[in-house]
Chain A
């Protein structure tokens, strides 16, 4: 471009490079940039690694370690950790390490499944209520309040009597009772997103409710959804442990970490620490890890913190 004073024409249309739009650097996706922020949070990385290791241990552990989780061996009851039984045995002579692996699997399964159920129901319910607004919203929210007023313990005792304390029941009950807080948050998001210009633009093109919810409201509340899903998974694991601990949860042989702890506390005065500490520490760390990851995800989805 050697334009002199003479040629008084408009300069040629700027190229992509001049516009700062050259594709030398491939545009990074939202998730990629989010990951960069996430990875800066060391604690969250450690938590993520811990969870991965914990899951590998619980799911792949039984492949390499053949302890008998469910076979009582009355010759070897209440053994402290030692050769043959790295974490000792319980009062029934069952291997604690094998039980721990199995219990970990169940805790994670129930937690993740019911957490996801809560997230899906809560997000959709909240998005629809928030988008529609008006009396539909009022009706949906009051219906939710009504459901919220049923005591969970009462529900569990009743359903447990009728259907037995199965894993499926636990997943469904925890999943279907844990979506209320997500609903409120997503409803708020939907109410603020639906008045944005891009929703007006979509409506003006002829876009209808389902499309607006699916293409605009849900993607833009993804941060809240993902963060709260992690929190609700942590919550579900905690809930299951608590229920099992007080005897309303899963029953032997289908034990989770909470049920192991329950057994352990009966013998606390005998000093059988191996029945308590592994399960208790695992519960605390898993829940803590999910919460830390949730916090880091919240930062990751905050676009202001993403690298410009």
Chain B
């Protein structure tokens, strides 16, 4: 008997004037010791499924039909008091953002012991002991001390560990993880996923892993349910799904992954349109409106979840892929289905903007009146690079590495502490007048397009604002320009009268791009422009950015933590670590032949949407967490986490030296490959007798304190 079985579950949320049919006949099973991955775009009912199981639905929500059986017991028939015993005891749950899920006024230890005391009626000391025990179980360094910390004293990864500890305190049979790593860095994401995987095996529990990232579940899920518009459209084991997806929606999700486009150098496939409005779901197949294979039958009749075998079920009349494909014989190239359209190429010209020895430090002050300077956060430290005309320079690194600060310095939202930003023969870092003069030519595209638009302005006014401020043309010509821009980003002109919140995320990012283009800039600094979007939508925005670049010969400084996105769009890539540029070079060269250990580690941590590759990964990636930027490590800043670090690394800062003739530079004493032409370092291999200087747990604690 499966541990958890959902039979035809229907969940509705009543709004003021309508009812959202959030789940419409969802059937799933989870066996003990298994991980079920649930994937789909946002708004497809993934979280609603989790919340229906927990019966923690939002206001107006209720499960109106079906059965949710946990160990044969129907959770829907339980009273609220009985359900409260199930939550936290039989089922544990972890959420996306650990900061908002933890109580900031209680220590971690007390929050964990609280649940032990409620469910096990344990005494105070006993519960505290249990809290420390689970904290060490989830790999929290020095758990006794950490149990006395408040949430803000911990880093993001540590907080998520604390959340997991809390969910596991009573040894639940089922752990529901709702996007547990979305708010975390790739390096930490890998650590957390491995932790969940290891705990599953040790405790023999079942896991439901809800995520939008096909790469994340490839390595950890045993079975996968693909959800679309409140229904399961495909349900099978992981290998079968990745090797041979049968539902066109699953196929489309794979095709939208940026790595597909980067490999083939073609335009990314993107799923047109949006998921249907669930207040009034369409008749027939719900995906028909966006499906590239849809026929009349699809629009009239509703396909049932079925398949040739009970192992692989899908709801489609005209499935893609093959009926019988075993994992062995397949040389599947999914990219054959992606568009064959070549990416428009831009010609790379003269240097446009040069950054030299750029430094940005934020002072830390003490005292409320005198504001003595007691230290400084070194956000950007001595960074130099050049952006050429028509080029995309990608900037990657973990959060806190200074990539966003560089973007802000270039667009002039922050003042540099020292260094130069040379643009058109003037130094923008010093000459404020020039900054105003060239403001039109350097624009910024924000990560959160919703936050970046005044919610009380119609989109027409949002787009007109830069023209108004810069006094460009008269009213008629401004209106003409706005219409033109809307056409260019592929939005209907009728939508100009709407407010920003009436657009979906992808559409809003198009508006954001249109606004950045309004003043016909030469350089656009794009700060994580697609990180808040679904893969299917992400590809639309990325394609659009590429097209517009070719059309207007734009340069992009593309800032992102997502290496596959950066690779798809960038000509050259710069890798940043703790305020330093550690490696920069042509995109292909950085990917294929990384020189710096950090770059290699970052590349290893990218989740790949291929279970075979993902499971075969031996490398741990990068361990530990980013040290504090208040008192960065001496010498090479990466040495505390570097597998090849030696005493030299602590003493001397490695200079950025060329590797090869293609402009590939890196800063490392013991690089992964030797610099051509340069004399080889005395020791090229890490000396095993000298242990690498890893961050002891106490250090990270101090950092977390200082950061808070």
User: Is the beta-carbon distance between B295 and A201 smaller than 8 angstroms?
Assistant: no
Distance in angstroms between the alpha carbons of A4 and B440 in the assembled complex: 46
Q: Is B16 in contact with chain A by the CB < 8 A criterion?
A: yes
Task: List, in ascending order, chain B residues with CB within 8 A of A10's CB.
Answer: 267, 269-270, 339, 341
| Binary interface encoding of chain A residues 191-204 relative to chain B, with 1 for a CB under 8 A from any of its CBs, else 0 | 00000111011111
Partner of B340, one of A8, A15, A21: A8
Task: List, in ascending order, chain A residues with CB within 8 A of B515's CB.
Answer: 201
Q: Is A16 in contact with chain B by the CB < 8 A criterion?
A: yes
User: Restricting to B464-481, which residues have a CB under 8 Å from any CB of A?
Assistant: 465-466, 469-470
Residue of A nearest to B270 (CB): A10
| Binary interface encoding of chain B residues 1-29 relative to chain A, with 1 for a CB under 8 A from any of its CBs, else 0 | 00000000000000111000000000000
User: Is the beta-carbon distance between A8 and B452 smaller than 8 angstroms?
Assistant: no
Looking at B30-38, B91-99, B491-499, B645-653, the stretch in contact with chain A turns out to be B491-499
Task: List, in ascending order, chain B residues with CB within 8 A of A220's CB.
Answer: 454-456
Distance in angstroms between the alpha carbons of A81 and B513 in the assembled complex: 72
User: Restricting to B275-307, which residues have a CB under 8 Å from any CB of A?
Assistant: 277, 289, 292-296
Among the interface residues A11, A16, A200, A207, which one has the most CB atoms of the partner chain B within 10 A? A11
Distance in angstroms between the alpha carbons of A207 and B457 in the assembled complex: 16
Tell whether A27 pairs with B504 under 8 Å between CB atoms, given A8-B339, A205-B470, A220-B455.
no
Q: Is A9 in contact with chain B by the CB < 8 A criterion?
A: yes
Tell me the smallest distance from the CB of B553 to a CB of chain A, in Å: 22
Partner of B492, one of A3, A15, A204: A15
Tell whether A206 pairs with B436 under 8 Å between CB atoms, given A20-B274, A307-B16.
yes
User: Restricting to A141-198, which residues have a CB under 8 Å from any CB of B?
Assistant: 196-198
Task: List, in ascending order, chain A residues with CB within 8 A of B293's CB.
Answer: 3-5
Task: List, in ascending order, chain A residues with CB within 8 A of B466's CB.
Answer: 205-206
Looking at B67-75, B145-153, B167-175, B443-451, the stretch in contact with chain A turns out to be B443-451
Task: List, in ascending order, chain A residues with CB within 8 A of B501's CB.
Answer: 303
Residue of A nearest to B288 (CB): A1
Q: Is B708 in contact with chain A by the CB < 8 A criterion?
A: no
Tell me the smallest distance from the CB of A10 to a CB of chain B, in Å: 5
Q: Is B81 in contact with chain A by the CB < 8 A criterion?
A: no
Q: Is B591 in contact with chain A by the CB < 8 A criterion?
A: no
User: Is the beta-carbon distance between A21 and B491 smaller than 8 angstroms?
Assistant: yes
Tell me the smallest distance from the CB of A208 to a CB of chain B, in Å: 8
Residue of A nearest to B271 (CB): A11
Q: Is B502 in contact with chain A by the CB < 8 A criterion?
A: yes
Task: List, in ascending order, chain B residues with CB within 8 A of A82's CB.
Answer: none
User: Is the beta-carbon distance between B274 and A197 smaller than 8 angstroms?
Assistant: no
Distance in angstroms between the alpha carbons of A151 and B272 in the assembled complex: 66
Tell me the smallest distance from the CB of B106 to a CB of chain A, in Å: 26
Q: Is B411 in contact with chain A by the CB < 8 A criterion?
A: yes
Among the interface residues B269, B340, B455, which one has the most CB atoms of the partner chain A within 10 A? B455
Q: Is A266 in contact with chain B by the CB < 8 A criterion?
A: no
User: Is the beta-carbon distance between A216 and B292 smaller than 8 angstroms?
Assistant: no
User: Is the beta-carbon distance between A307 and B17 smaller than 8 angstroms?
Assistant: yes
User: Is the beta-carbon distance between B339 and A3 smaller than 8 angstroms?
Assistant: no
Summed over the interface, the residue pairs from A and B with CB atoms below 8 Å come to a total of 121
Q: Is B685 in contact with chain A by the CB < 8 A criterion?
A: no
Q: How many residues in B have their beta carbons less than 8 Å from beta carbons of A?
A: 57
Distance in angstroms between the alpha carbons of A286 and B90 in the assembled complex: 57
Task: List, in ascending order, chain B residues with CB within 8 A of A222's CB.
Answer: 456
Task: List, in ascending order, chain A residues with CB within 8 A of B492's CB.
Answer: 15-16, 19, 21
User: Is the beta-carbon distance between A21 and B494 smaller than 8 angstroms?
Assistant: yes
Tell whether A21 pairs with B498 under 8 Å between CB atoms, given A1-B294, A5-B293.
yes
Task: List, in ascending order, chain B residues with CB within 8 A of A14's CB.
Answer: 272-273
Q: Is A22 in contact with chain B by the CB < 8 A criterion?
A: yes
Tell whether A201 pairs with B452 under 8 Å between CB atoms, given A19-B273, A27-B502, A307-B16.
yes
Q: Is A23 in contact with chain B by the CB < 8 A criterion?
A: yes
User: Is the beta-carbon distance between B469 and A205 smaller than 8 angstroms?
Assistant: yes
Q: Is A84 in contact with chain B by the CB < 8 A criterion?
A: no
User: Is the beta-carbon distance between B498 and A215 smaller than 8 angstroms?
Assistant: no
Distance in angstroms between the alpha carbons of A16 and B492 in the assembled complex: 6
Task: List, in ascending order, chain A residues with CB within 8 A of B451's CB.
Answer: 196-198
Tell me the smallest distance from the CB of A291 to a CB of chain B, in Å: 25
Task: List, in ascending order, chain A residues with CB within 8 A of B191's CB.
Answer: none
Partner of B470, one of A5, A206, A308: A206
Task: List, in ascending order, chain A residues with CB within 8 A of B452's CB.
Answer: 197-198, 200-201
Tell whether A16 pairs with B469 under 8 Å between CB atoms, given A10-B339, A30-B456, A216-B454.
no
Q: Is A75 in contact with chain B by the CB < 8 A criterion?
A: no
User: Restricting to A1-37, which residues have a CB under 8 Å from any CB of B?
Assistant: 1-5, 8-11, 13-16, 18-23, 27, 30
Tell me the smallest distance from the CB of B88 to a CB of chain A, in Å: 28
User: Is the beta-carbon distance between A18 and B289 smaller than 8 angstroms?
Assistant: yes
Distance in angstroms between the alpha carbons of A67 and B299 in the assembled complex: 76
Distance in angstroms between the alpha carbons of A208 and B295 in the assembled complex: 55
Q: Give me the 3 closest cross-chain CB pairs, A-B, nearest first.
A: A16-B492, A197-B452, A205-B466
> Would you give 20 A-B contacts (Cβ < 8 Å), ordered by A?
A2-B295, A3-B293, A4-B295, A8-B337, A8-B340, A9-B341, A10-B339, A18-B289, A19-B273, A19-B492, A21-B498, A21-B502, A27-B499, A30-B456, A198-B453, A201-B515, A211-B469, A219-B456, A220-B455, A307-B17
Residues on A facing B (Cβ under 8 Å)? 1-5, 8-11, 13-16, 18-23, 27, 30, 196-198, 200-207, 211, 215-216, 219-220, 222, 303, 307-308
Known: A4-B295, A197-B448. 4 other contacts (CB 8 A): A23-B497, A198-B451, A202-B469, A206-B466
